[in-house]
Structure 1
Amino acid sequence: MLRRKPLHLSLIMAAILLAALSFFLFPVVWMFLTSFKTQEQIFSVPPVLIPPAEQWNLDNYIAILTQNNGWQGVRDTAFISLITALISVSIGALAAYSLARFRFGGDEFSFWIISTRMFPPVASAVPLFLLFRQLGILDTHWVLIIANSVFNVPFAVWLLKGFIEDLPVELEEAALIEGASIFGAFRRITLPLIAPGLVTAFLFTFVFTWNEFMFALLMTRRAVRPMTVVISSLAGGHTILWAQIAAAGVITILPGVLVVVFLHRYLVRGLTMGALKS
């Protein structure tokens, strides 16, 4: 029989959790409130914590989307993130199936694949930049799709490999006995059963790509302007548009917030399924 915690311990734990939550949410709340302030209110003394109700409008959001390449940033970032997530999950699922079902190279090979995810992206920035310049694809959507896929595919492989290893191999063997090919068994048996893992890998790689900044800054100029680059361009040498930066920040974090709020069940189910071994 489980013993109940004393009331004072529960209250202390609740207070600690509330303090931690307030600490981590404060920058987000402050950014949200700042997105509705005017430039004068941001620098006023004493500071304006909450703008007056009559001044709550979407002027900063409209300005960032219509005057400072904000709409192009949202469009480019959404396209790059979507294609990168699709490529990463597609390649990751095939590679994970191969590693889980066909033994070659031992565990060292699997570790080598995931270790590339731990490789600092900044160390590969210059070689990738020189390679893409030779290929003539700088300042295109594909340069960021390829660069982000290089680092997201290992994550998808690592995540999906655990899902596939948890599945009974007898299910695929039964399909092979019935005349299915290896790819047919993978497509008809394995993929439907690891659907939570596919969704989880897709969402994580989408959010990773959406928030990526370094490759976007180094490898794009004018034709492609991801949202993270748009935000950095608002801080000039003489003027920093703090209100518009805050509005752009709110727009940028929306995908991650929506994923957590509406799809957290899929994320938890996907991560726990891959973590539990039968």
Structure 2
Amino acid sequence: MKRQGLKLSDFLCGLALAAALFIFLAPVAWMLITAIKPPGEWLNSPPIFIPSELHWANFTDALFKWGGLKGLSDSLIVASLSTVLSLLLGVPAAYAIGRYRTGGDNLSFMVLSILFMPPVAVAIPMYLFWSALGLLDSYTALILQYTVFNIPFISWVLRSFFEEIPRDMEESALVNGATRWRAFWEICVPLARPAILAVAMLAFIFSWNEFFFAVILTRADVTTLPFILPVLMEGHDVLWGDIAAIAMLGALPVVALAFALQKYLVRGLSFGTLR
């Protein structure tokens, strides 16, 4: 009875996992199918699950006709530099708040409160600010704008991780002649590496997918990938195949990054949660 009960529970668990995989992967599979369909099969009723031909022109149009290649490069530049800058500022801030209670108990909540604010609430002030500096439609404006939202997230999440790192290791390094800064970079940062890589990936995804500020602050010189999608929604027609192709191309870097960092994700997101 126990063995049968165990097999039944395994079966139910596998069934639940299969249902979850279907729910999450079905839209991705449909997007891929749409990306290789010819235009006449995008909106058929009943839907066509197997295209009559592989219409790779959707990908070439997405890359070269609609600026998808430039969108990929611009998104990569903005997301990468914003993530690096956010880590350089957010990791020391998290260490200072978590280890030394810099700013008291209220500073950490003030940092978190920035994330409560919807981007639309600061859209006009930010537009006027970057316009006054002459930085509209530039990499600098987008990178710094995303950094402003990434730093509070990084510092808030990493604060608890640095709180869990034993002080004895730092104190031993200080006794042996290391400076406070060296102890931070050579002891605390390596120990918190899984968490740092996890929040770095989440910050990169935010910068990669962000649409609102990309529309407000850019025009023609800088066109990130989310900015290109509305161009394909014409007044009398929607180019579903090209949209699906751009979406597939835009998802590839994030998926590749997730696979590259997958061994750090579970450990990084769970480390520091137990006291």
TM range (shorter): over 0.9
What secondary structure does 1:49 align onto? coil
Change in 2 beyond 3 A, CA 1:8/1:187: closer
The letter of the residue matching 2:27 is P
Unaligned runs of 5+ in 2: none
Per the alignment, residue 266 of structure 1 pairs with: 264
Superimposed CA distance per residue, residues 68-93 of structure 1 (whole angstroms, 9 cap, x where no aligned partner): 11111000000000001001111111
Give the conservation status (yes or no) of the 8 Å contact 2:38–2:55: no
Deviates more, 1:6-15 or 1:261-270: 6-15
Measured after TM superposition, the shift of residue 44 of structure 1 is 3.3
Give the conservation status (yes or no) of the 8 Å contact 1:97–1:164: yes
Deviates more, 1:22-31 or 1:147-156: 22-31
What secondary structure does 1:275 align onto? coil
**Residues 96-175 of structure 1 correspond to what in structure 2 (within 5 A)?**
96-175=94-173
Measured after TM superposition, the shift of residue 5 of structure 1 is 4.6
Superimposed CA distance per residue, residues 175-204 of structure 1 (whole angstroms, 9 cap, x where no aligned partner): 222222211211222222222122112111
Measured after TM superposition, the shift of residue 221 of structure 1 is 0.6
Measured after TM superposition, the shift of residue 57 of structure 1 is 4.8
- Name the CA distance, whole Å, in 2 between partners of 1:29 and 1:60: 16
Give the conservation status (yes or no) of the 8 Å contact 2:201–2:258: no
Per the alignment, residue 65 of structure 2 pairs with: 67
**Greater than 4 Å deviation, 4+ residue runs:** 2-6
Measured after TM superposition, the shift of residue 6 of structure 1 is 4.7
Measured after TM superposition, the shift of residue 3 of structure 1 is 9.3
Task: Output the TM-score relative to the length of structure 2.
Answer: 0.92
What secondary structure does 1:47 align onto? coil
- CA-atom RMSD in angstroms: 2.0
Task: Output the TM-score relative to the length of structure 1.
Answer: 0.91
Per the alignment, residue 250 of structure 2 pairs with: 252
The letter of the residue matching 1:23 is I
What secondary structure does 1:139 align onto? coil
Measured after TM superposition, the shift of residue 118 of structure 1 is 2.5
Change in 2 beyond 3 A, CA 1:12/1:175: closer
Measured after TM superposition, the shift of residue 4 of structure 1 is 8.4
- Name the CA distance, whole Å, in 1 between partners of 2:167 and 2:3: 42
Superimposed CA distance per residue, residues 139-160 of structure 1 (whole angstroms, 9 cap, x where no aligned partner): 0011111111111111111222
Alignment identity in percent?
37
Unaligned runs of 5+ in 1: none
The letter of the residue matching 2:44 is S
Per the alignment, residue 19 of structure 1 pairs with: 19
Superimposed CA distance per residue, residues 30-65 of structure 1 (whole angstroms, 9 cap, x where no aligned partner): 11100000111113344311213xx22532111111
Deviates more, 1:220-229 or 1:102-111: 102-111
Change in 2 beyond 3 A, CA 1:178/1:6: closer
The letter of the residue matching 1:205 is A
What secondary structure does 2:246 align onto? helix
Measured after TM superposition, the shift of residue 9 of structure 1 is 4.3
Indicate yes or no: 2:54 matched with 1:56: yes
The letter of the residue matching 1:166 is E
